[in-house]
Amino acid sequence: MAKLVKTEDEVMLGDAARGFLGDAAPVSHLRGLRDGGATHDAGLWREMAAMGWAGVLVPEASGGSDMGHAAAGVLAGEMGRTLVASPFLSSAVIAATALKQVSSDRAATALAAIASGEATYALAIDEGRKFAPEATAMQAVADGNGFRLSGDKCFVIDGALADRLLVLARTGDGLTLFDLPADRAGITRSRTNQIDSRNSARLHFDRVEATGDDVLGQVDDAMAVLRPALEAGQAALAAEMTGLASGAFDMTIGYLKDRRQFGVPIGSFQALQHRAAHLWCEIEVTASAILHAGRKLDEDAGNATLAVSLAKARATSTAQLAVIEGVQMHGGIGMTDAFDMGFYMKRARVSAEWLGDYGYHAEQVARLRGF
Amino acid sequence: MADDLQTYRSELRDWLAANCPDGMRDGQNGEAAICWGGKNWTFTSDAQRQWLENAASRGLTVPTWPKAYGGAGLDRAREKIFHEELTRINARWPLQSFGIWMLGPALLHFGTEEQKRHYLPPIARGEIRWCQGYSEPGAGSDLASLQTRAEDKGDHWLVNGQKVWTSYADQADWIFALVRTDREAPKHKGISFILIDMASEGVTTRPIRLISGASPFCETFFDNVKVPKTQVVGEINRGWDVAKYLLTHERQMISASGQAMFAGRALGAVLGDNQDASLRAAALKCEVDALAVGLTLERYKDMAEAGTGVGDASAMLKYMGTELNKARHEVLMSAGGSDALEWDGKAGSQAADWLRTKANSIEGGTSEVMLSIISRRVLGLPG
């Protein structure tokens, strides 16, 4: 396997992304969206697409930059650092990976639309409080040559703005993944007010018509398409969370150096130094699991489950520690809305749940490690 | 390149098949299975002796050292293959020692050509066993306050003082030690790194019995010990630089040896049919963390090879690796229940291993010292 050191290209990509996002989408950008009642900046996403980010996993033949999963992780990490609100994970990572599992003109066209930024996607899986794709209950009942989908989906990230939806539903002998336009008759979308100020929706399906053409992959075999897409999404989300942890950590270290109490910087107190050092160790260890998951997806995607679940489990515990310590070490100001740390804490909580929480991914590790 | 590596792997595989005795393929690498070498060493079996000789003849006791000093001159890719192939056949390490882990790297970096040629090959062949003389009764975490002194007597140094926690000093042939050579200088600036033959007149040792029942550590006393002038490594009064460099290796070694244990056996197998939910959760957290720390060890090796300095960040490996090892042994003890409470006081029993891990986060710099190193030198927090 390629080394667990970022390549020159990956370092350059990360530097470029940090430079761009630092100007175009610092945390104040997310705050501005929230204060204006918005969850998305279409102009920002167009710029990201123009830089090849929307097509990071799209083959060059479909107009993508095809940089791979480790590179997608580098980008996601930089987005996490400043809490960039964009459909990157839903569209550029999850939907693109799902579409890549299918070789058809239709899929190639859809991939091109993702890479150009013309089309955004959302993944509609969850129906209850916890991530459990195998337990999907929504029915897609055979009807003539097609299906009728009825039921409800929740926690559909980017679901209120996406042009298209990937919907998981139960068919005769298994699960099937549908690729539907979000404005298909019978779909009702309600945007939710999510703590992280990002786009999310509840969806209601009332006898929504789907044809054979709307099926992504094979009927009753959703996982062949969905599993790679989920793993790509989980790895990139884990990378985003680790970037988030680093962003919160940098802010905290800055505060420890600047803030003075009892006549000295509070960072000179060993009680805080050791906690900060411990947090740094956790972030450093998690960063290894992130890079490893990206490499594994690029080189041996069929056997990446352990690497991906390890990354998501570690990223979840690390990001949560980073924001909890971040607020505590900032003291009172950390609790104020005027200060950015709260945004980090809220996004960390949402990311912890999305695509499987610590317990879900630790169980994957348990299964694959003989527990 | 890939072809070369494949060729190396297949040649190595053939060589191991012919040269690693069956008795050395039991996957045992715990304390009781270690071959330490040295003049006082009693081989536990002919197979152990044969494996050491065979490996040493190919430089494979110290695979990355230059051939001129008894190594095999392997690059990182080949070293990795060597480790993979050893693991594949469940082979024990042919030789482990403080000479390999600590003194060797320090000599390779700071030693004169003459010192390298004189001291390194006997380490590689397992002929001379070294111990480390750092801590003193009054100098633990505050190591630089050490008081053992070496006086310049013209043609030799005269050493007087006491060291403590000198691992296996009663078995060792030589000791590398930190001694004060300038009592006027600031404490870090008056220390030298010196090599002393344990057979010298005036050197005595006394074992310290630990809570684990074992006595791997000793007190070592120096009473007017004469040491030739050629036996200082690096510059006089700059021994702290050597010690720091060496501690970095020690930290990596301690975390790596912990890691070797995680690699072999997943904790799930240990739990068996135990359904205790909180124990299972603790075991699972250990497993997740161990896998990630293992990858971090790989990443840091890759960084070191790529020329990206790891430096003080190695304190992280030491801290995380040893704390994890302690947590893992708590899980093992809990899984073992009352069975795990019986012992014969020898190394190798579960209880003895569990107790021994408690020293992991003390020796080579405590966890708290590691965190202080990180906060000051890596994070730049004010002292």
Helix ranges (H only) for chain A are: 8-24, 27-35, 42-50, 69-81, 96-100, 105-116, 222-258, 270-299, 305-330, 341-353, 358-368
Q: Are residues A180 and A232 in the same domain?
A: no
Helix (H) or strand (E) holding B204: strand B203-208
Q: What is the domain-level CATH number for residue B22?
A: 1.10.540
Q: Are residues A40 and A76 in the same domain?
A: yes
Q: Are residues A217 and A232 in the same domain?
A: no
In a domain, A353, yes or no: yes
Q: Are residues B357 and B250 in the same domain?
A: yes
In a domain, A2, yes or no: no
The 10s digit of each residue's pLDDT in A220-279 is: 999 999 999 999 999 999 999 999 999 999 999 999 999 999 999 999 999 999 999 999
In a domain, B268, yes or no: yes
What's the whole-number average pLDDT of chain B?
A: 90
Q: Are residues A50 and A139 in the same domain?
A: no
In the DSSP assignment, the letter for residue A120 is -
In a domain, B112, yes or no: no
The 10s digit of each residue's pLDDT in A135-180 is: 999 999 999 999 999 999 999 999 999 999 999 999 988 999 999 9
Q: What is the domain-level CATH number for residue A142?
A: 2.40.110.10
How close is the nearest chain B Cα to the Cα of A312, in Å?
10
CA distance A189 to A85: 20
Collect all residues of chain B within an 8 Å Cβ-Cβ radius of residue A362.
284-285, 288
**Looking at residue B92, what is its pLDDT?**
92
How do strand A264-265 and strand A174-181 relate by DSSP bridges? Answer: unpaired
In a domain, A185, yes or no: yes
B192, B179 in Cβ contact below 8 A? Answer: yes
Contact B266 A4 (CB under 8 A): no
Residues belonging to chain A with any Cβ–Cβ distance to chain B shorter than 8 Å: 3-5, 253, 256-257, 264-265, 267-268, 270, 273-274, 276-278, 280-281, 284-289, 291-292, 306, 310, 313-314, 362-363, 365-366, 369-371
Contact B319 A268 (CB under 8 A): no
Look at the pTM and tell me if it is higher than 0.90. no
The 10s digit of each residue's pLDDT in B156-202 is: 999 999 999 998 999 999 999 999 999 999 989 999 999 999 999 99
Q: What is the domain-level CATH number for residue A68?
A: 1.10.540.10
**Looking at residue B178, what is its pLDDT?**
96
- Closest B-chain CA to A286: B292
- Helix A305-330 vs helix A358-368: angle between axes, to the nearest 10 degrees? 140
Rounded mean pLDDT, B275-287: 91
pLDDT band for B264, please (50, 70, 90 cuts): very low
Q: Most confidently modeled of A6-15, B81-90, B347-356?
A: A6-15
Cα end-to-end span (Å), chain A: 26
How many domains are contained in chain A?
3
Contact B267 A371 (CB under 8 A): yes
Collect all residues of chain A within an 8 Å Cβ-Cβ radius of residue B267.
369, 371
Domain that holds residue A198: 122-221
Tell me: pLDDT of B270 over 80: no
**Looking at residue B106, what is its pLDDT?**
94
Q: Are residues B178 and B53 in the same domain?
A: no
Collect all residues of chain A within an 8 Å Cβ-Cβ radius of residue B380.
253, 257
In a domain, B105, yes or no: no
Q: What is the domain-level CATH number for residue B343?
A: 1.20.140.10
How many domains are contained in chain B?
3
**Looking at residue B352, what is its pLDDT?**
87
Q: Are residues B297 and B344 in the same domain?
A: yes
Q: Are residues A58 and A101 in the same domain?
A: yes
Q: What is the domain-level CATH number for residue A322?
A: 1.20.140.10
Q: Are residues B32 and B49 in the same domain?
A: yes
**Looking at residue B32, what is its pLDDT?**
77
Domain that holds residue B28: 2-100
CA distance B286 to B327: 7
| ipTM computed for the complex | 0.95
Tell me: pLDDT of B353 over 90: no
Tell me which of A120, A137, A172 is where a domain ends: A120
Which range (A58-62, A293-297, B215-219) has the least confidence?
A: B215-219
User: HEC string of B217-281?
Assistant: EEEEEEEEEEEEHHHEECCCCEHHHHHHHHHHHHHHHHHHHHHHHHHHCCHHHHHCCCCCHHHHH
Tell me which of A56, A89, A120 is where a domain ends: A120
Tell me: pLDDT of B324 over 80: yes
A232, A297 in Cβ contact below 8 A? Answer: yes
Q: Are residues A246 and A299 in the same domain?
A: yes
**Looking at residue B252, what is its pLDDT?**
62
